[in-house]
Amino acid sequence: MKILLVEDSYIERRKLGAFLDDWGFEYQSVGSGTEAVKLLEAPDHPDLVLLDWLLPGLDGIDVLRRIRKLSRGTYVYTVMLTAKTHKKDRVTAMGAGADDYLSKPIDPTELRSRIVVGKRILELQQSLRFAATHDFLTNLLNRSEILVAMQREIVRGGREHNCMAIILADIDHFKRVNDTLGHAAGDEVLKEVARRLKVDLRPYDLVGRYGGEEFLILLPGCNLENGARRADTIRTLVCKDPVETPFGTASATMSMGVTAASAERKCSVSDFLREADLSLYEAKKKGRNRVEVFSHAAHSSAAGKA
């Protein structure tokens, strides 16, 4: 947890900072509301803010209102620190978005207890968000979240004139695992395959459980050729070793279909998913445990013959 201490008094800032150091908290301190807002609007923003009311530039109430207008899906917990003691001041601060209120002079024990409460609430919020956006078995992004991410990356790629490879991957003969070793073994295979899928991914690549034994992988910055090469590397990592489960050993090979989005291609999420799915079907038809790349010409020809 990262703490931002916003206090215009240098002496008070040093004193509170010394407490935070002693308690082992990671923190940054600034002396104005304007500096605080810059840090709070950054991607790597603090999680908890200790905020003085009277500040140069933007005051504490202004900063609170700016925090609550930010919509990033992550919550910033705020504790107002002030010499104001009237009940109406507390109501004003809470109305602007403060989560807690502590009167000056600050009692170190009281401050630490408020930070601990804030930390506990943030951890709960993060765990609830993780549960809402991730598949409970594999801990990968769930279907709805990976599709939202795909839409976001398509839009970003169009804006920044960038490409993105899209890989739809399916575990071969997964039903056979369930039928011979049981569903508990199948769950172990899913978890291990999910782990292997992430081994070679870059920090900004995305992978989600698309459904059943299917996975969707997004590789921003990769064109079709590079995406196919990456897909084959991932496939090799997955099938290199059998999966050992408490119920027996299972093989884990994958078939993959690859397509790519770019600024020049004005397609929807469903269009790209259809292309990846058609390529995945080709990989299955040609013997499984392989990568097939979407080709407009090949599928137009096949559709014409049909």
**Enzyme catalytic residues:** 213
**Cβ-based neighbours of 5, under 8 Å, separated by 6 or more:** 13, 16, 17, 20, 27, 28, 29, 30, 50
Q: What is the CB-side half-sphere exposure of residue 77 using CA atoms within 13 A?
A: 19
Whole-angstrom distance, CA of residue 233 vs CA of residue 216: 15
Comparing CA positions, the residue from 219, 230, 223, 227 lying closest to residue 265 is 223
Beta strands, E only, the chain: 2-6, 26-30, 48-52, 77-82, 100-103, 164-171, 206-211, 214-220, 243-245, 248-250, 254-261, 291-293
Q: Which long-range contacts (CB under 8 A, 24 or more apart) does 108-115 make?
A: 108/19, 111/16, 111/19, 111/50, 111/79, 112/19, 112/23, 114/79, 115/3, 115/23, 115/25, 115/48, 115/50, 115/79
